[in-house]
Chain A
Amino acid sequence: KQEVTQIPAALSVPEGENLVLNCSFTDSAIYNLQWFRQDPGKGLTSLLLIQSSQREQTSGRLNASLDKSSGRSTLYIAASQPGDSATYLCAVRSNTGNQFYFGTGTSLTVIP
């Protein structure tokens, strides 16, 4: 069974810092990996989708990379802002059983 782990579980940084969130998965047989943010009590907002054949995707201040062979993805946030405070989740779509598996998330706080 696919297992997805996110480190760290919580992170607090001053505004303006660049930061990296980590996601690791145990089974490299995936279709894609998607990064989301979730604000308290709300649904998930899609940030970036990386297909299994891709190495990275960029959107604004966000850059996500994927190393399928080592089972790792990173989400890089440049010049962090207080509005970036949220929980960040990664999810993989496994092509074994064709299910989605989510990590436990990283709770990010950006201090003004």
Chain B
Amino acid sequence: KAGVTQTPRYLIKTRGQQVTLSCSPISGHRSVSWYQQTPGQGLQFLFEYFSETQRNKGNFPGRFSGRQFSNSRSEMNVSTLELGDSALYLCASSWGGDFNEQYFGPGTRLTVT
């Protein structure tokens, strides 16, 4: 079956702009989590959505937001982009239970200039 897909794969934005990233989970998975990966901070948890509700949230400013649709697809939005937001953004899907395995997408590489 198809894996986790993320669009777009690459994105270049200017400081101050906003950006929306999309993630389509594996069919049947109801949980989508988002992560930011940078060379300095490694992989950091942004938030998790389950059945259209945000279930958990990491320690990121309010400029980072997300949502999940009824078909479990999720979007992540970053407003007022800063240079430090340049990163690889990864999403992962799972069935939704606390003990479930996570499956990752290929990521979106965001560059802020």
Contacts of A103 in B (CB 8 A): 42
Q: B104 at the A/B interface (Cβ < 8 Å)?
A: yes
What number of A residues sit within 8 Å (CB to CB) of B?
25
Contact B99 A46 (CB under 8 A): no
A76 to chain B: which residues have CB within 8 Å?
none
Which secondary structure dominates where chain B touches chain A? strand
Min distance, Cβ B54 to any Cβ of chain A, angstroms: 12
Sorting the interface of chain B by its residue count into under 10, 10 to 19, 20 to 34 or 35 or more gives 20 to 34
Contacts known (A102-B42, A104-B42); A46 close to B102, Cβ less than 8 A: yes
- Mark each residue of chain A from 62 to 104: 1 if its CB lies under 8 Å from any CB of chain B, else 0: 0000000000000000000000000001010101011111111
Asked whether B99 lies within 8 Å of A101 as measured between CB atoms, the reply is no
Q: Tell me the complex Cα distance, A46–B3, Å.
A: 12
Whether the pair A102, B90 counts as a contact (CB closer than 8 A) is no
